[in-house]
Amino acid sequence: ILNVEQSPQSLHVQEGDSTNFTCSFPSSNFYALHWYRWETAKSPEALFVMTLNGDEKKKGRISATLNTKEGYSYLYIKGSQPEDSATYLCASINTNAGKSTFGDGTTLTVKP
Amino acid sequence: NAGVTQTPKFQVLKTGQSMTLQCAQDMNHEYMSWYRQDPGMGLRLIHYSVGAGITDQGEVPNGYNVSRSTTEDFPLRLLSAAPSQTSVYFCASSYRVLGEQYFGPGTRLTVT
């Protein structure tokens, strides 16, 4: 993996469904992986900062895991609500780059 | 704290005009960056700065200049606007060079 890739590109679920999506990133020279939530007409806001292999972070119904050896992170949303509708971005930071590289995001739509 | 502020919020330029997008933060953050967001393309890094007096190019620097004379301010200059620069521009800052970023509200620029 040379770039940061997110899948799927978009997701439509019903209220109450649980869902998950993937961020793949270069595993060499890994420093950190950030998840952001980006609501329509707003700015991205940081959800999680993940640095260690095996990290698991949780905020309410949203959680994330990190595998730095194979270069992927999963974001899970349990019992999706309409207010979870947003684009979820991940950004990979490598020690030799000194800057964040963003994926294109997964756009989640939760139907009531 | 006001956080990260950007002005203007909206701007229409004619091809060939120049302008400066302003970005300021009051959190004493070292790291500041400029992104552009185009439909279906996520956030692409234009320029970034790891501290006052230090700037570097991102993925898409052509047609843009930056300077960082103070910790607080990081203006982005469009030298000769082109329709391809029609986009939404986000400024962001972080406390550490590799920390999670705080985004401004964005500037929607249209070049006709």
Q: What is the pLDDT of residues A48-106, one digit of tens each?
A: 999 988 899 999 999 999 999 999 999 999 999 999 999 999 999 887 767 788 999 99
Provide the pLDDT for residue A2: 65
Q: What is the pLDDT of residue A53?
A: 87
Task: Determine the pLDDT at residue A99.
Answer: 79
pLDDT band at A1 (very low <50, low <70, confident <90, very high): low
B84 phi/psi in degrees, rounded to 5 = -65, -15
Pairs of CB atoms within 8 A across A/B: 48
**Does A99 reach chain B within 8 Å, measured CB to CB?**
yes
**pLDDT per residue as tens digits for the range A7-54:** 999 999 999 999 999 999 998 888 899 999 999 989 999 999 999 888
The tokens of A12 are what?
């439509």
The answer to whether residue A112 scores a pLDDT higher than 60 is: yes
Average pLDDT, consecutive stretches of 10 residues, N- to C-terminus, chain B (112 residues):
93 97 96 92 91 93 96 96 96 88 96 96
- Pairing type for strands B10-13 and B107-111 reads parallel
Residue type, A30: F
User: With an 8 Å Cβ cutoff, is A105 touching chain B?
Assistant: yes
Binding-site residues on chain B for chain A (CB distance < 8 A) = 33, 35, 40-45, 48, 50, 56, 58, 90, 97-106
Q: Do B75 and B56 contact (CB within 8 A), yes or no?
A: no
Provide the 10 A C-beta neighbour count for residue A101: 21
| B23 contacts in chain A (CB < 8 Å) | none
B73, β-bridge pairs:
B24
One-letter-per-residue 3-state SS of B23-88: EEECCCCCEEEEEEECCCCCEEEEEEEEECCEEEECCCCCCEEECCCCCCECCEEECCCCHHHCEE
Helical segments of chain A, H only:
none
